[in-house]
A and B are shown apart, each in its own frame.
Chain A
Amino acid sequence: MSENHPGRRRVVIVDDHGIFRSGLKAELGDAVEVIGEAPTVDEAAQVIRESLPEVVLLDVHLPGGTGGGGAEVVKLCRDLLEEVRFLAISVSDEATDVVSVIRAGARGYVTKTISTEELIGAIDAVAAGDAVFSPRLAGFVLDAFGTSGLVEDVRDEELDRLSAREVEVMRLIARGYTYREIASELFISIKTVETHVSKVLRKLQLSSRHELTRWAEQRRIV
């Protein structure tokens, strides 16, 4: 993954709290190159268009724009999604917020309490085109799609159900396993784990399953 990019990841931090931005910057240190910061929806869209970073660390709650928060930033940059990857980073427990930013096109969701190494790993994974699921997000996916996963092989166009393998992967993420541990647990390669997670991300983004929205309204990921 990271071998393709010898240089440091170019990152933009979008968060309306200046203290959090500077704290995050200090925490990431030399691991990434912070090329821009923005506190509002409109400024974020502008900064991202000008600097074209590899990864945007995006807070879910942002002022400005039409009030859509992080999801609106992703939507404004929809044409850039091939080059610019969004990683939602939030303290929010509101499933609606998390799901809206993921469905808008973000590649992952982590909580603000994540450790620095894990965050750097997540930035790398997202930059490489993979999806990053926190245990909480995996728990939410299982809650919304169901844990049965009876179907051994779900066809790709079937967006409302998870295959048995995808359920397994989600369950292990929710149990706190790393991709490497999941791979050895299920006797598959890490690459395959990443593929499964990306597929689940795609289902989460594209599923028209009406229950998903209802779920998101009722639930908070705790």
Chain B
Amino acid sequence: METTTTPEGQLPQRPPLRRALDTPVAGVCLGVARHLGLSVPLVRVVFIVLALAGVGLLLYCWLWIFVPTQEEPTPEAARRGLSGPALEQTDQPAPSSGTGAAGRSAKVQRGLDSLTSSPEVLLGGVLLGLGAVFMVQLLGFHIDWRLVLAPAVILSGVILAWSQIDRTQAEGADPAHRSAALWQVGIGAGLVMVAVLVIAGGLVGTGQLITGIIVGAMLLGGLALVLAPWFIRLYRTSQVERERAAAEAERADIAAHLHDSVLQTLAMIQKQKADPAAVERLARGQERQLRSWLYRQNAQATGSLKDQILAVAAELEELHSVPVDVVAVGESRRSQHAPLVAAAREAILNAIKHAGPASVYIESTEQEDAVFVRDRGDGFDLETIAGDRMGVRESIIGRMHRAGGRARIRSTGSGTEVQLFLPVDAQPKTNGNNGSAASGGPAQKVSEHE
């Protein structure tokens, strides 16, 4: 195929014939228009004219059944697998027919498009046709209503039932949707059957019709008996296929996660093998991430004291490349942990900044929550460096006191331990709001040195 440079021939290959989404009926016209590179209103007008001539509806229904929608996975998409996009981009600019009268023709096109794309206009057309039929009868022509109404009923029944084809797969999981879809299909089928019976009633007598129905039912029963195993088999196979696809998706999810995180980290570790600190930080960060990912279903209760302190520890560990171990016992009875977590954060930060690795122990009893932050540094004397250690004074001791709890700091030659206690029924102290005045006095009382 030769490549042309005319506006109509911009695409060397036609896009595949797919029914479009988000259209009033089934997306056939839009799909055909995209496939052929024609304007949508033109295709719609052609279909409407053909429908009036009689074959348009049949053609529309034919395409409706046999052309897949954009969303439907096709065998090629499945074969492309996860590496490629399952859907191809189908949005092309509508080809314009010329440059000279571009503005006017665009306006006309837009008008045609809005006229032909709205279901109200379609409905109006149908009602107009009905009115015309009435008019013809009033003018004295005889019209066999059976021949007009029965096909109309069949048509509406078919449209009612088929409109569920595209929906059942996507929303089938929701029972409400499923029963609504079943009702719609059922009513559609009922309408079609009634209309067929009406037509048949016009051809044969009532007695014969009843006999025919009985014979038909028996035939259908016999056929169902023969075919049932195949249908059940088909249903089961599709069920198995669906589960297999779900399992495959999960495996792909895991593989993607491992690729994104673990493999990347391993690659970085190999690159930085000369720097043990960086390697350790990478390994610890990856370990934590993987753990939380593997066990995330158990961590629904985010926002518990333990989770919050774990998050703080993880963040500081990452930031300063110093390990922080957290052990937690019991579940807190309090709902508000902000002051305790903030004070613990300050304590952990102090420990890893001045002393190295820290271990955190959280114990929640029926009376109080306690947090112990321990390091193995040289320790410090609160009395001598209290002046410039505003962090300790204000952020730890003062904060705990204002929240109605207490803090103790024990510092020896072999390390420092910050102990934070917050009773379950503790209330924030109102007199602690006026800043540093409150933090000086009480802090001295509750701190203890060795």
Contacts and interface: CB of A to CB of B under 8 A. Distances in A.
Interface string A175-210: 111000100000000000000000000000000000
B295 interface: yes
A203 B236 CA distance: 53
Given A135-B359, A139-B361, A222-B310, A176 B325 contact: yes
A14 interface: no
B274 to A, nearest CB: 18
Contact of A176 (B287, B295, B330, B361): B361
Interface string B300-334: 00000000001000000000000101111110000
Among the interface residues B284, B365, B374, which one has the most CB atoms of the partner chain A within 10 A?
Answer: B374
B132 to A, nearest CB: 74
B291 interface: yes
Interface in A133-154: 135-136, 138-139, 142-143, 147-148
A174 interface: yes
Nearest to B299: A222
Contacts of B298: 220
Contacts of A177: 374
B394 interface: no
A139 B365 contact: no
B365 A147 contact: yes
A176 B291 contact: no
A143 to B, nearest CB: 5
Nearest to B372: A175
Contact of B414 (A136, A174, A181): A181
Contact of A174 (B323, B327, B417): B327
A147 B361 contact: no
B285 to A, nearest CB: 13
Contacts of B284: 113
A123 to B, nearest CB: 21
B329 A174 contact: yes
Contacts of B327: 135-136, 138-139, 174
Nearest to B328: A139
A142 B414 CA distance: 25
A143 B365 CA distance: 10
B414 A143 contact: no
A171 interface: yes
A35 B316 CA distance: 41
B363 interface: yes
A171 B374 CA distance: 13
B329 A175 contact: no
Interface string B324-350: 011111100000000000000000000
B404 to A, nearest CB: 22
A135 B295 CA distance: 20
A83 interface: no
A135 B325 contact: yes
Interface in A18-56: none
B83 to A, nearest CB: 30
Among the interface residues A139, A175, A181, which one has the most CB atoms of the partner chain B within 10 A?
Answer: A175
A174 B374 CA distance: 10
A90 to B, nearest CB: 13
Contact of B363 (A93, A147, A222): A147
A177 B359 CA distance: 9
Contacts of B291: 93, 222
A14 to B, nearest CB: 22
Contact of A142 (B325, B326, B363, B417): B363
Contact of A139 (B295, B310, B329, B374): B329
Given A138-B327, A174-B329, A176-B325, A93 B295 contact: yes
Nearest to B376: A176
Contacts of B414: 181
Contacts of B363: 142, 147, 171, 174
B361 A135 contact: yes
A175 B359 contact: yes
Given A147-B365, A175-B374, A181-B414, A142 B359 contact: no
A138 B363 CA distance: 12
A3 to B, nearest CB: 24
A142 B310 contact: no
A148 B364 CA distance: 11
Nearest to B327: A139
Interface in B372-392: 372, 374
A208 to B, nearest CB: 22
Contacts of B330: 142-143, 147
Given A113-B323, A143-B330, A174-B361, 11 more contacts: A135-B361, A139-B328, A143-B329, A147-B365, A171-B363, A174-B329, A175-B417, A176-B359, A181-B414, A220-B298, A222-B326
7 contacts: A93-B291, A139-B327, A147-B329, A174-B327, A175-B361, A176-B374, A220-B295
Interface of A: 93, 113, 135-136, 138-139, 142-143, 147-148, 171, 174-177, 181, 220, 222
